[in-house]
Amino acid sequence: MAPPTPALDAPQILLLFRDEIAVFQIPETVEFEGVREQIDRLIALEPPDALGPTCRLDLGERPITLLDLRRLVHHLDQTHSIEVTGLYSSTQAIHRFAQRELKLKLFLDGTPPPEDLMPQPEPTDLEPASATAPEAPDVDASTAPAPQAGQALDLDPDDILDAELQTPTPSDELEPEPEPAEEESGVRTLHVPRTLRSGHAVSFDGDVTIFGDVNPGAQITAAGSVIVLGTLKGVVHAGATGDEQAFILCLQLQATQLRIGTRIAIPPKEGSQGPEVALVREGRIVIEPYRSRLPR
Amino acid sequence: MSECLVITSGKGGVGKTTTSANLAVALAREGKKVAVVDADIGLRNLDVILGLENRIVYDLVNVIEGQCRLKQALIRDKRIEGLFLLPAAQTRDKNAVTPDDMKKLVDDLKELHDYVIIDCPAGIEQGFKNSIAGADRALIVTTPEVSAIRDADRIIGLVEAHDLPEPELILNRYRAGMVGRGDMLGREDVLEILAIPLLGIVPDHEDIIISANRGIPASFDDDSVVGAAYRRIAARLGGAEIEIPSFDDKQTFWGSVARWMGLAPAREVM
Ligand SMILES: Nc1ncnc2c1ncn2[C@@H]1O[C@H](COP(=O)(O)OP(=O)(O)O)[C@@H](O)[C@H]1O
Ligand SMILES: [Mg+2]
């Protein structure tokens, strides 16, 4: 039997050198699942140490989630001991994350990063922004300082020692069965016509609408906003690729935990009546009654 | 010297998770640093029993897959110094983890804690193999029922094949009244079959159900009979010689009346 030869028409990752640094150029057409393998093969073809200790990724227009980006960086580091130091990408949603969390230098169209994209020195996202909560809010409702009406408790920064958040990896994922509806804005919405039970995970690169409840132990991860036409008791991460304009709207909010962008909050136990929306205001997740129009 | 205990049983629903949570709390109350690990991937509930569900951000699988550091995934129990939970992933399955992964994880946890407690899933497959991989000592939980004992016997055989020291038994949901009437296997009956050292007996008690619903393990409660039973077991783990009570005087009203009247002295057993 002949060894399998890679199909010639398969979209290929290219290994180039820019400024004498290796650059992996990953075209939009390559499925993320195959990216790591292809990179492994490319590296194996090079003479040892030809690549040097660092490299950059060129994603061009290719959209990528925070999680996939982190996986890629992790893979190169763990498997090949090559540190990714730079990124070419026009996906704005990942820029901040790439700079602040992954410490990557950004190259836009091959030009050095403009000033406003340079790393900012004080990233303290997950700390309660408000000075009125000097003590980390306790989770136990009985000992917690009474939350202001509509104010979710920010999670104790102690719990997340390094204020970095990424989307967990769901395996038991529900397939986006109904074709996502493409809207004029280009934002895609996934409709899930059932209740999500414990262990179910939905993750999607746009908005998600659930026609049913989200039970404890179920998890939704969306790049955009999440609407639950039912009771939300599980965990929702909206704006998972860094979009802090994303919101979480549900008919009844009793969530275990809410996450928007890189922020995490535990809503007060006694849920109020009626539809509510969770969103980021002044750097904190807050919960407000939903009044017949989109927030903001 | 830190030690990794695996809490296992073969059969489901006999009290592994209850025991893991209560022993972890009891050991922390002794001033030990304890990490309790939910190895029941895909069916986690140790976090619920401990009342820590809403603080989970990362889980065991995230740690193993390198998506976060171990310390980021450990949830500190704020009610007591020294108690940490490493939650299971809920949306993955057991095959996401291998015994080698677990061994490495346990080694890392042992650097940071005096005790690492693994709450093993039911069954004898992957989840069991993962749970036992890093363990130094196995505690077998059983109820006084024939089917549970049969499974415990099978598990003891598997543990022995794993080069671990002789496992120790925790007999759970014990009802002295029923044993007295001959309606339940007594400790001697169980020990005759399993023939391993008895570490402790935990009575069948509504406190367990109440505390599970509240997310506050009974070992926190100084007045709870089951809490006390778990605290004694924790002390025995460290080598203390504390006798195992017979439980019958506290269980039945007439028993305590009889004892008060001097008719029936509390039975000393073992
Ligand atoms: N000593 C006890 N008294 C009363 N109920 C108990 C006791 N131990 C366990 N239970 C109950 O038995 C059920 C199964 O216990 P659990 O610890 O989840 O078992 P496992 O982890 O072995 O599947 C739970 O509903 C629990 O409340
Ligand atoms: Mg269990």
pLDDT tens-place string over residues B24-67:
999 999 999 999 999 999 999 999 999 999 999 999 999 999 99
Mutation for A interface: B62, B84, B90, most A CBs within 10 A: B90
pLDDT higher than threshold 50 for residue A6: no
Residue B239 lies in a domain: yes
Q: Name A278's bridge partners.
A: A248, A287
Q: pTM score, two decimals?
A: 0.67
Residue positions counted in chain B? 270
**Which chain A residues have a beta carbon less than 8 Å from that of B57?**
155, 159-160, 165, 257, 264
Convert A206-223 to b/e letters by CB count within 10 Å (16 or more is b): bbbbbeebbbbbbbbbbb
In this structure, which ligand is nearest to the CA of B9?
Answer: 1
- The range of the structural domain enclosing residue B34 comes to 3-260
pLDDT higher than threshold 50 for residue B127: yes
Q: How far is B53 from chain A (nearest CA, A)?
A: 7
The rounded distance, in Å, linking the Cα atoms of B185 and B165 is 26
- How many domains is chain B partitioned into structurally? 1
Residue B253 lies in a domain: yes
The rounded distance, in Å, linking the Cα atoms of B63 and A237 is 19
Residue B266 lies in a domain: no
Residue B16 lies in a domain: yes
Q: What is the CATH number of the domain that holds B233?
A: 3.40.50.300
Measured in whole angstroms, how far is the alpha carbon of residue B183 from the centre of its chain? 25
* Vertex B110 angle, CA A159 and A161, to 5°: 15
Radius of gyration of chain A from its Cα atoms, rounded to whole angstroms: 21
The rounded distance, in Å, linking the Cα atoms of A46 and B114 is 47
Ligand 1 close to Cβ of residue B16 (< 6 A): yes
Residue B269 lies in a domain: no
Burial level of A50, CB count in 10 A (0-12/13-18/19+)? exposed
Ligand 1 close to Cβ of residue B205 (< 6 A): yes
- Tokens 């059969």 — which residue? B11
pLDDT higher than threshold 60 for residue A140: no
Neighbours of ion ligand 2 (CB under 5 A): B 16-17
Give nearest CA residue, ligand 1 atom 10. Answer: B15
Pocket mutation for ligand 1, best pick of B208, B226, B233 (most atoms within 8 Å of C-beta): B208
Residue B210 lies in a domain: yes
Confidence of residue B247 (pLDDT cuts 50, 70, 90): confident
For residue A154, how many C-alpha atoms fall within 13 Å in the half-sphere facing its CB? 27
* 3-state secondary structure at position B4: strand
Interface A–B counts its CB contacts (< 8 A) at 81
The encoded tokens of residue A75 equal 């893979």
Residue B93 lies in a domain: yes
pLDDT tens-place string over residues B60-96:
999 999 999 999 999 999 999 999 999 999 888 878 8
The rounded distance, in Å, linking the Cα atoms of B214 and B212 is 5
Q: Which H helix or E strand runs over A219?
A: strand A219-222
In this structure, which ligand is nearest to the CA of B44?
Answer: 2
Residue B27 lies in a domain: yes
- Tokens 């039997």 — which residue? A1
pLDDT tens-place string over residues B132-167:
999 999 999 999 999 999 999 999 999 998 889 999
The pLDDT of residue B261: 56
